Amino acid sequence: MNLKDKTMMFYVSTLVALLLVLTAFSALSFHYFSIYAAEMHARSVAETVKVGLTESMIHGTIDKRQQFLTRLSAVPGVQRVRVIRGPAVVNQFGPGIALDHAGVKNGEETGGIDLAMVTGKASFEKTSTSGELVYRALIPYVANDLGTPNCLQCHVVSVGTVLGVVAIDIPLAEKRRNGLIAVGLISLAVFLVALAGLAILRRMMKPLADTAHAVQEVTAQAVGGDFSGRIRLQGGRAGGRHSADELDDIALNINHLMEFLEREVTTIRTRVGQLMGHHLNDGGNQLALTAEMVESLVAVAQFKQAIEEDQTKLDIYLRLADMLRNKYDFKRFSIYEIAPSKNRMTPILIDDEAGVACRYCDPQVTVDASFCRARRTGREVNAVDFPGLCTMFRPAEAGDSHICLPITQTGSAGCVVQMVIAAEHSPLARLMTPFIAVYLREAGPVLEAKRLMEHLRENSLRDAMTGLYNRRFLEEYISTLVAGSQRRKSAITVLMLDLDFFKQVNDTHGHEAGDKVLKTLADVLLRNVRRSDIAVRYGGEEFLLALMDTGADAAMKVAEKIRGEVEATKVPLPGGMLQKTISIGVAEFPGDSDTFWQVVKFADVALYAAKASGRNRVARFTSDMWDVDAHY
């Protein structure tokens, strides 16, 4: 129900209630007024009867009282007048004429008359006579000695004796009829005035109702993101006149508000779209879309602050995965990292799993990143709108599609984020892609900074000539490695390696030849250990291998293999071929000691034992090799 109908209903209900109350009040007032008037009329008639009877007694015309009462009964507004003598008067003068007791003789109720005779007090009641409603007054006249003449001059009674009762019947039908007519006329007048007021109110309410309806429509459009609605002015301001009232002020203010919102929301939407690198269509709820984009920018700013504080690239990749999974509900996705120097793509996270192989792409991309269209073009690959755009995509289920977004670093794609999309989710994925792209755009520079920092750190932890880790790396990370070994309850075997007579190479063939021999030895070591093992250039021609989850027996076989391969390796030099041998000491953690650095010392002791026994051999540490006095 609209405002106009509500107001009219309220007004009509109020008028009906007022009319009913006024009618009831008028009827009640006329009723009480009629009773009051009848009572006053009866008292006047009774007083007239008293005066008339007294005069008749004084002038000796009491026998004419019948005519007097008959004429009095003919007075308008009086139906019947009777006089009933009291016992004292009956004893003195007799019962009087028959009319005096006509009421009694006709069988009428005498209780009221008898009560008046006894109490000397007037009584009034409504009763029915011959089927007609009358107002009966029973007014006693009491003997007194006041005035001239007084009652005691004629009556042998004492003061206060009830001489008789005057019974007067006042008809009420005419009064009731006149009252109903008056109430009807009043109600009709009020009804006509109410109708006139209703017509005036309806006319006055029309501009208000029209303005309220227009405000409702305009605000409803605004809630839906459409601010083009305007309210028509009800007064004359639109035509250049000055008859406008508060309604036009409201309309003008709302129109100005809509113009302001339309202009500012459009500006905000355009600017936010520029920040996001995405153009918003004019359809849909623009206010909601703009608010959503602003919220996304705030979330992106918080995301950027968080990843800037992360320590490693993997932390950032995990945040990206969390964003894809929890914020945008992508359950299947891949995050690849590209090594520019090798032009290879490495899977970092596949469906939230780290260290797994490609799941939704041809493995060729891990060998040659040029096969990846997003990597090659540096642009979004939208196979939802353009199926088959990328030939490297391998769907896991029928109907699957994908969108790949590159993360730009130093002008080219440094990472690729692939989102795998089921057919029924394609429309939603299109809407979410621009928002995800903003996250990736902000992550790019941070990932590049982390990559450079990791590269610098990696360089500071590696030997520049051989590419092996240096002693600093071992010092920083060995506690982590040991903690993992203890958690797994596995062994770490340490191999200390030293080239035999290496000083002679430098002295005889020069330092360049010595460097070449060291590089060749590093290649041999890397070929004979796993990726999980640690190869360290410990210093000069001395090397250290930490074989993870490997006992001493297995490590002895690895050491012997390395020794044999070094012995068989020929290093080409300008003056010919050079062959060298190596000595190796082996000690096990925690079998030989529960302190890692003590195990390193034991391996070093075993190395010197190997050299002392003739070099080019592998020696396993035994407790008899350790001379406490010699080492402390």
- What is the residue extent of each domain of the chain? 3-177, 224-236+246-309, 313-450, 469-631
Largest Cα–Cα separation, the chain: 188
Range among 158-162, 171-175, 374-378 with highest mean pLDDT value: 374-378
Edge-to-edge order in the sheet of strand 353-354 = 353-354, 344-350, 333-339, 412-421, 401-409, 381-382
**Residue 470, SS3 per DSSP:** strand
How many other C-beta atoms are found inside a 10 Å radius of the C-beta of residue 219? Answer: 15
Of the candidate ranges 18-22, 175-179, 365-369, 433-437, the one whose mean pLDDT is the lowest: 175-179
**Amino acid at site 141:** Y
Range of lowest pLDDT (286-295, 297-306, 367-376, 407-416): 286-295
Q: Report the CATH architecture of 469-631.
A: 2-Layer Sandwich (3.30)
- Mean per-residue pLDDT for 511-517? 88
The reported pLDDT for the residue numbered 198 is 80
Lowest mean pLDDT among 61-70, 174-183, 206-215, 610-619: 61-70
3-177 and 313-450 have identical folds: yes
pLDDT at 277 over 70: no
Of the candidates 328, 321, 277, 351, which has an alpha carbon nearest to the alpha carbon of residue 431?
328
370 residue type, one letter? S
Tens-digit pLDDT profile for residues 543-567: 999 999 999 999 999 999 999 999 9
Please compute the mean of the pLDDT values over residues 50-68 and round it to a whole number: 72
Q: What is the pLDDT of residue 322?
A: 93
Closest of 83, 79, 103, 74 to residue 175, by C-alpha: 79
What are the DSSP E strand ranges found in 146-290? 162-171
- Output 260 or 604, whichever has higher pLDDT: 604
Confidence of residue 119 (pLDDT cuts 50, 70, 90): confident
Sign of the Cα pseudo-torsion (388, 392, 396, 401, in order):
negative
Inter-residue contact 143 to 161 (CB < 8 Å)? yes
What angle do helix axes 426-460 and 286-309 make, rounded to 10 degrees? Answer: 20
The reported pLDDT for the residue numbered 1 is 62
Q: What percent of the chain has pLDDT over 90?
A: 26
Instruction: Domain 3-177: state its class.
Output: alpha beta
State the pLDDT at residue 180. 82
Give the pLDDT of residue 65.
Answer: 66
CA atoms within 13 A on the CB side of 91: 9
> Cα–Cα distance between 255 and 569 in angstroms, integer?
90
Phi then psi for 562, rounded to 5 degrees? -65, -45
**Residue 629 confidence (pLDDT):** 47
Express each pLDDT in 377-436 by its tens digit. 999 999 999 998 999 999 988 889 999 999 988 778 889 999 999 989 888 888 888 889
DSSP 280: P
* β-pair type (333-339, 344-350): antiparallel
Tokens for 12? 């009509």
Q: Are 497 and 566 in contact (CB under 8 A)?
A: no
pTM as predicted: 0.49
pLDDT(583) > 90: yes
- Give me the count of residues in the chain: 632
pLDDT of residue 237: 45
pLDDT score, position 103 = 41
| pLDDT at position 376 over 60 | yes
Single-letter code of the amino acid located at 64:
K
Q: Under 8 Å CB-to-CB from 201, ≥6 apart: which residues?
A: 7, 8, 11
Q: How many CB atoms lie within 10 A of CB 4?
A: 16
Q: How far apart are CA 483 and CA 276, in angstroms?
A: 45
Q: Is the pLDDT of residue 278 over 70?
A: no
For residue 310, the model assigns a pLDDT of 87
- Residue identified by tokens 């199926």 is 387
Sign (positive/negative) of CA torsion 72, 78, 80, 86?
Answer: negative
Residue-averaged pLDDT of the chain: 83
CB 616 within 8 Å of CB 528: no
User: What is the pLDDT, as a whole number, of residue 354?
Assistant: 86
Q: What share of the chain is helix, strand, coil (3-state, %, to 5)?
A: 55, 20, 25
Pick the range with the lowest mean pLDDT from 47-61, 75-89, 299-313, 503-517.
Answer: 47-61
Listed in sequence order, the DSSP H helices in 94-172 are 102-105, 111-119
Least confident of 210-214, 522-526, 602-606: 210-214
CA distance 441 to 327: 17
Give the burial class of 591: count Cβ atoms within 10 A of its Cβ; 0-12 exposed, 13-18 middle, 19 or more buried.
middle
pLDDT tens per residue, range 174-224: 777 887 888 888 888 888 888 888 888 777 777 777 788 888 888 888 887
pLDDT of residue 458: 65
Query: Between these two residues, 67 and 352, which has the higher pLDDT value?
Result: 352
Region 603-626 average pLDDT:
93
Q: What is the mean pLDDT of residues 368-373?
A: 91
- CATH for 313-450 is 3.30.450.40
